[in-house]
Amino acid sequence: MRPALGVLSFILTFLVVNRLVVARVPLPPEAGMRTKTEFLLDHLEDYDAIWIGSSATLYGLRPLEFNDELAKLGYPGFRIYNLGVGGMGSFETISVLRRVLAAGPKRLKWVFYEEPLFDALLWYPDIVNQRYIQWHDARNTLSAIRALEYAKEPPAYKAEEYESFLLAGGDGEWRRGAAAEHIELGLRRELAVGQGPRIYESLVHEDEAWPTFDAIAETDGWMDITRDPAPGAKKAHDEFLARPKQWDKRVANMIRLEKARPVPEGHYDLDSLRQLIADIRAAGAEPIMYVPPRGLPSTMMMSLADRGEIPTLFPFHITSEFPELLPRELHYDEGHFNPEGAALWSRVFAQRFARHLDSLKD
């Protein structure tokens, strides 16, 4: 009996200590994820709404311009925060958003969520990176594995890597390899593998995370892409300037593809979308999805909105509705606005939101 109690005591102690350690693992500092999230958590009651999404949101939406425009349209005192992070996909976005919602914000009434695609594929060659690890809690890991059924094919460079998981005569069994990656990341997160140095550095403030709280406070989270220190940003800009006709071709192709609206069933993770909406509403906020105007179609979002799966969608990519966002001189590269373009999109976003608020009064 005593040996059994000793084993049980050891297991319970391990689990408790493990939970404490996992809870102390800081968010990755890359692309501003840590400081932008921590700043918001420290100032939750300062904001009525947040934008959350990828670099299209990070560089493209300016809170101060949005707030000013909304005030002119009859809604003064409204404040919004930009929680965009470069390279942030849907499952990673959900992970960050849940941290915010779990803090119990009382003032937060609107969550503007960028194009929830729920891509379960791990595109980076080195999957053992802190950003992948941090979002692989048990809930997200299971959701990502389930969402693999909606992926048509793996990243081309991973095809050989997945061969060991293929079953004779099986169709789509590469997903077993992708699932194994998610499981590995989930275990690394739950066991806090190799996280000791990061916890120590965060406790003694030796890891200088960027951007600083002062910089975030000046713009409420927006970042000027022309000041981004990442070398990839400047390279994309130079390529954009070198191909002046490429943008027009991109927009023309988007218009052509947008005419088709596929049926979502069998091609989209509706379960994750519905759970996302439920989580936001459970926190006392209302979700609004939006598609950035970056010259790419979003037929799935349009189809989901048509069917009522997305309660409210702002489709800024539709050229007939928002032609003022198309001029090439407003864009820094094919996927992002320059500061002037960001100011314009922010005002247009406020105008669209004001119309939505007006409609709620009817």
Find residue 50's DSSP bridge partners.
81, 111
Which token pair is 233? 């940003």
Please choose, from the candidates 277, 274, 261, the residue with its C-alpha nearest in 3D space to the C-alpha of residue 315: 261
> CA angle, 32 as apex, 26 and 33 as ends, to 5°?
45
User: Half-sphere exposure (CA, 13 Å, Cβ side) for 240?
Assistant: 20
Please choose, from the candidates 115, 96, 147, the residue with its C-alpha nearest in 3D space to the C-alpha of residue 310: 115
Please report the pLDDT score of residue 41 as a whole number.
Answer: 98
pTM of the model: 0.90
Question: What ranges make up the beta strands (E) of 77-209?
Answer: 80-84, 110-114
Q: pLDDT in tens for each of the 362 residues of the chain?
A: 556 555 455 445 444 445 445 555 678 888 889 999 999 999 999 999 999 999 999 999 999 999 999 999 999 999 999 999 999 999 999 999 999 999 999 999 999 999 999 999 998 888 899 999 999 999 999 999 999 999 888 887 777 777 666 544 455 678 888 999 999 999 999 988 766 666 556 666 655 677 899 999 999 999 999 987 677 788 888 999 999 899 989 888 888 877 766 665 668 999 999 999 999 999 999 999 999 998 888 888 999 999 999 999 999 999 889 999 999 999 999 999 999 999 999 999 999 999 999 999 87
Residue with tokens 């220190």: 229
d(CA 94, CA 215): 25
Which token pair is 337? 């606005």
Q: Element (H or E) spanning 201, and its range?
A: helix 196-203
d(CA 276, CA 136): 16
Taking a C-beta distance cutoff of 8 angstroms, is the pair 262, 300 a contact? yes
Q: Give yes or no for a cis peptide into 211 (omega within 30° of 0).
A: yes
d(CA 289, CA 348): 15
**CB within 8 Å of 220: residues ≥ 6 apart:** 47, 63, 64, 79, 80, 81, 82
Residue with tokens 């965060």: 202
DSSP string, 59-85: HH--HHHHHHHHHHTT-TT--EEEEE-
d(CA 302, CA 288): 13
Please report the pLDDT score of residue 15 as a whole number.
Answer: 45
Which token pair is 29? 């500092």
Residue with tokens 């501003």: 32
Tell me if residue 151 falls in helix, strand or coil.
coil
Tell me if residue 18 falls in helix, strand or coil.
helix
**CB within 8 Å of 357: residues ≥ 6 apart:** 75
Which token pair is 247? 């943008």
Taking a C-beta distance cutoff of 8 angstroms, is the pair 56, 84 a contact? yes
Give the long-range contacts of residues 318-322, CB within 8 A, separation 24 or more: 318/258, 319/251, 319/254, 319/255, 322/293, 322/348
What DSSP state is assigned to residue 40?
H
Tell me if residue 337 falls in helix, strand or coil.
strand
What DSSP state is assigned to residue 158?
G
Which domains are assigned to the chain? 31-125+209-361 (3.40.50.1110)
Please report the pLDDT score of residue 257 as a whole number.
Answer: 79
d(CA 70, CA 324): 18
Please report the pLDDT score of residue 43 as a whole number.
Answer: 98
Which token pair is 181? 């990656």
